[in-house]
A = this chain, B = another copy of it.
């Protein structure tokens, strides 16, 4: 594509030759002719001078330092994401059902879909147009999958799971396994509580590798539109995650918790069950969340229960001084004893 095309398509001001052709993105340091770089994080500003990129996406304030063509925008990272998608589109579908796939009764696969070898569909599965199903994906009875969704090799969707349009589900993820529900009997044994709900996943959801989303005990576990889940996240039964919320790797959400829209939850965060987290909450990595968070804001814990970011940072500095604090207190007590 030409720089002129990219500038028009993404609403950038172009400083440079609109007919210059680019065919890939690259970091400022690794870029060669034909590639587009970007400068979103000011930390990397020093790399601008030596870049060999054909053009760089950046803010107007940094244009003066740019030795090559510049695509100016107020939001370089978002424009970079879009330009990278233009230049590196997902590989085109190869429509057709591989002969080594196994389809159940009353399962409809539109001709526009790609179904890989070893994919196994139960009965009554429904697929939208242009769905891509990787090798060995297993799809239970009655599952519904919306148009343009892609599911990578080896993912498992249990019976009754419903997935929206334009979703991406990575390998190793398991959607709709039984929630963890047991009643302890008088003799100490556990009685399994049947998990008869389902999982409802909206449009434009991405689910990383080896992430598990349990089916509801009664009623559904719900992942709303635009949610992005990283790898190895555990979502308990009957949890609800609001639209456009983003959760990083190895976080765990216990059952029956409701998380608001547009939240950002850090890696390894642990959210207890039966809580309500407001919209637009940011929770730092590793934070333990034992209670509901009714007000938007930034909360952190880094291994301890959530607090406001500011308070937690101060307390954590003091934690590093704790032995010293205890010694100083002992000295004060000794002094007072001598005085009395």
**Among A134, A252, A336: residue with most chain B CB under 10 A:** A252
Chain B residues closer than 8 Å to A333, beta-carbon distance: 328, 332
User: Does A250 lie at the interface of the complex (its beta carbon under 8 Å from any beta carbon of B)?
Assistant: yes
Given A118-B120, A318-B326: A192 and B210 interface contact (C-beta under 8 Å): no
Give chain B nearest CB distance to A319 CB in angstroms.
6
Q: Is the CB of A190 within 8 A of B228?
A: yes
Chain B residues closer than 8 Å to A171, beta-carbon distance: 138, 156, 158, 174, 177
Bound CA span A82–B194, Å:
9
Select from chain B the residue with minimum beta-carbon distance to A193.
Answer: B81
Chain B residues closer than 8 Å to A248, beta-carbon distance: 180, 254
Stretch at the interface among A12-20, A24-32, A58-66: A24-32
Q: Is the CB of B209 within 8 A of A212?
A: yes
Select from chain B the residue with minimum beta-carbon distance to A300.
Answer: B290
Select from chain B the residue with minimum beta-carbon distance to A24.
Answer: B196
User: Does A301 lie at the interface of the complex (its beta carbon under 8 Å from any beta carbon of B)?
Assistant: yes
Bound CA span A204–B188, Å:
13
Bound CA span A29–B192, Å:
22
Interface residues of A in 225-275 (CB under 8 A from B): 226, 228, 230-232, 234, 236, 244, 246, 248-250, 252, 254, 261-262, 267-268, 270, 272
Q: Is the interface of A mostly helix, strand, loop or mixed?
A: loop
Given A118-B120, A180-B228, A191-B81: A304 and B316 interface contact (C-beta under 8 Å): yes
Bound CA span A229–B75, Å:
38
Q: Is the CB of A186 within 8 A of B75?
A: yes
Give chain B nearest CB distance to A267 CB in angstroms.
6
Chain B residues closer than 8 Å to A193, beta-carbon distance: 77, 80-81, 84
User: Does A321 lie at the interface of the complex (its beta carbon under 8 Å from any beta carbon of B)?
Assistant: yes
Stretch at the interface among A1-9, A106-114, A307-315: A307-315
Give chain B nearest CB distance to A286 CB in angstroms.
5
Bound CA span A58–B168, Å:
43
Given A82-B191, A152-B156: A318 and B311 interface contact (C-beta under 8 Å): no
Chain B residues closer than 8 Å to A231, beta-carbon distance: 174, 177, 180, 212, 214, 234
Select from chain B the residue with minimum beta-carbon distance to A323.
Answer: B314
Give chain B nearest CB distance to A225 CB in angstroms.
9
Give chain B nearest CB distance to A59 CB in angstroms.
14
Sorted nearest first, the 10 A-B pairs with minimum C-beta distance are A138-B153, A303-B303, A174-B209, A314-B323, A156-B171, A177-B209, A318-B322, A120-B135, A78-B183, A81-B191
Instruction: List 26 A–B pairs whose Cβ atoms lie within 8 Å, in order of A's numbering.
Output: A75-B186, A80-B183, A81-B183, A84-B193, A84-B194, A102-B117, A154-B174, A172-B173, A174-B231, A177-B209, A178-B206, A192-B206, A208-B212, A209-B212, A231-B234, A232-B234, A236-B249, A254-B285, A270-B303, A285-B288, A286-B288, A304-B316, A314-B322, A318-B323, A328-B333, A332-B333
17 additional contacts (CB under 8 A) given A25-B218, A180-B228 = A27-B218, A81-B193, A84-B194, A135-B138, A136-B136, A154-B154, A154-B174, A158-B171, A172-B173, A177-B208, A178-B206, A189-B244, A250-B250, A286-B303, A314-B323, A319-B319, A328-B329
